[in-house]
């Protein structure tokens, strides 16, 4: 069913790139992802597509799984985004239930062994959203983590509510903030992105808009009214004016008392210097922050910091290509398997990392994760010009 829905599809953008796509790794892995996973009828409804007036509306429809991104979601989402880019005036994405999207379905990916295929399609979606030709509006209402930020933050407009909770918790399971995290995190003010990446700290409600992760803040009970108004918009100016009309004034950042310390500590060039500065502050916040860092995978911490520093100088596509190399290596490592075991399967929350400490992770070892993959294994994008 899914193959039939994809093969006949040809938007203007797709047709223009067809010759290029015949040799594209992502296309090969896309079909591997489809044919290698037998979807049930229930799974094909894990993402819903509707239209209303001028808008295409995407509903992530796995409320019991906090709308975690699954293989069925990704293989349906990419072609629909391409189709609507030329057929609709705007796209709205939202989640069913009380979450937007809690990230990628790590357990499903681990079970199917389709991590290469999963990330290849997912990163193409992230990049497409970042260069989307029409307004893309994400209602990040509720839990929004990892891959949930990947399908929202790269769009032009992001609407937070009082129920929004965001985090990038990848270092807890032996990975790094990906889905473009190395692009948007280092661009947050006061080095907040580095702080979020290395500690898995959460931001909630108005903080998400104040820091720039969201562009607007609207109470959750007003979202249906906002959606109805957006669907009548015919261009980007209309969309912006509508969002601005619904936007509610936000108060001071809840972590404002720690902003100077966050900026001071997480602007350091190395994790050793970050911890040294935290130690020098010597208060409850700094002690708790050091404790949080030490609970993460040591390899992930050092690789993540190096990736964020490089990502600050790169565009979105370059960041995704870098992340792809990192994730392929990290996902194949002992630490990822151990992180999934300790936090998601056995849930003893006692991962036995290797190397066990930050001191044992050398700079030369970190650098091995950044090496290019063989050319036929590198991430390719739908649009060869990106």
> Of 95, 130, 146, 147, which one is the catalytic site residue?
147
Q: Name the most confidently modeled range: 15-29, 305-319, 326-340.
A: 305-319
For position 307, what pLDDT does the model report? 98
Q: Catalytic: which of 105, 117, 141, 170?
A: 170
Is pTM beyond 0.75? Reply is yes
pLDDT of residue 369: 98
Catalytic residue among 178, 261, 323, 338: 178
pLDDT digits (tens, 9 = 90+) for 73-109: 998 999 999 999 999 999 999 999 999 999 998 878 7
pLDDT band of residue 204 (cuts 50, 70, 90) is: very high
- Total residue count of the chain as it appears in this document: 386
Annotated catalytic residue 170: yes
Token pair recorded at residue 169:
């918790």
Query: In angstroms, how far apart are the furthest CA atoms of the chain?
Result: 62
Domain regions of the chain by residue span:
2-377
Ordered alpha helix ranges (H), the chain: 2-6, 12-16, 18-21, 25-35, 71-87, 106-112, 115-130, 147-150, 181-184, 192-199, 206-210, 223-231, 236-246, 259-266, 271-281, 284-295, 298-311, 316-331, 334-340, 363-368
Contact between 184 and 153 (Cβ < 8 Å) = yes
Helices (H) and strands (E) in the chain, counts: 20, 10
Q: What is the pLDDT of residue 43?
A: 61
Higher pLDDT, residue 249 or 156: 156
Strand, helix or coil for residue 105: coil
CATH architecture of 2-377: Alpha-Beta Complex (3.90)
| Catalytic annotation, pick one of 56, 95, 104, 174 | 104
Q: Which residues contact 11 (CB under 8 A, 6 or more apart)?
A: 82, 83, 85, 86, 87
Quick check: is 272 catalytic?
no
**104 catalytic, yes or no?**
yes
Encode pLDDT of 275-287 as tens digits. 999 999 999 999 9
């Amino acid at each position: 069913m899914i193959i039939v829905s994809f093969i006949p599809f040809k938007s203007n953008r797709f047709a223009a790139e067809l010759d290029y796509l015949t040799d594209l790794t992502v296309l090969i892995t896309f079909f591997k992802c489809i044919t290698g996973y037998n979807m049930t009828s229930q799974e094909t409804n894990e993402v819903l597509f509707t239209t209303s007036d001028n808008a295409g509306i995407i509903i992530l429809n796995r409320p019991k799984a906090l709308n975690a991104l699954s293989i069925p979601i990704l293989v349906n989402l990419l072609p629909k985004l391409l189709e609507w880019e030329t057929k609709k005036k705007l796209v709205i994405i939202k989640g069913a239930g009380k979450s937007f999207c809690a990230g990628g379905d790590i357990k499903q990916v681990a079970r199917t062994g389709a991590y290469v295929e999963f990330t290849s399609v997912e990163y193409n979606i992230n990049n497409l959203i970042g260069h989307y030709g029409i307004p893309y509006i994400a209602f990040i209402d509720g839990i929004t983590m990892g891959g949930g930020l990947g399908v929202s933050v790269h769009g032009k407009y992001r609407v937070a509510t009082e129920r929004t909770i965001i985090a990038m918790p990848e270092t807890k399971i032996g990975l790094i903030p990906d889905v473009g995290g190395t692009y948007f995190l280092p661009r947050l003010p006061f080095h907040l992105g580095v702080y979020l990446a290395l500690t898995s700290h959460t931001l909630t409600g108005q903080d998400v808009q104040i820091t720039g992760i969201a562009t607007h803040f609207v109470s959750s009970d007003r979202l249906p009214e906002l959606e109805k108004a957006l669907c009548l918009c015919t261009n980007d100016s209309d969309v912006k004016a509508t969002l601005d009309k619904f936007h509610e004034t936000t108060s001071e950042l809840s972590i404002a008392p720690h902003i100077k310390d966050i900026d001071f500590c997480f602007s350091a060039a190395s994790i050793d210097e970050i911890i040294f500065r935290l130690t020098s502050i010597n208060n409850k916040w700094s002690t708790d922050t050091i404790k949080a860092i030490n609970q993460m995978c040591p390899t992930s911490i050092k690789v993540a910091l190096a990736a964020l520093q490089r990502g600050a100088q790169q565009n979105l596509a370059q960041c995704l290509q870098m992340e792809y190399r990192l994730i392929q290596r990290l996902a194949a490592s002992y630490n990822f398997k151990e992180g999934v075991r300790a936090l998601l399967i056995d849930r003893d929350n006692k991962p036995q990392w290797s190397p066990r400490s930050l001191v044992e992770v050398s700079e030369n070892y970190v650098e091995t994760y950044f090496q290019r993959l063989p050319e036929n294994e590198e991430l390719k994008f739908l649009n060869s010009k990106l």
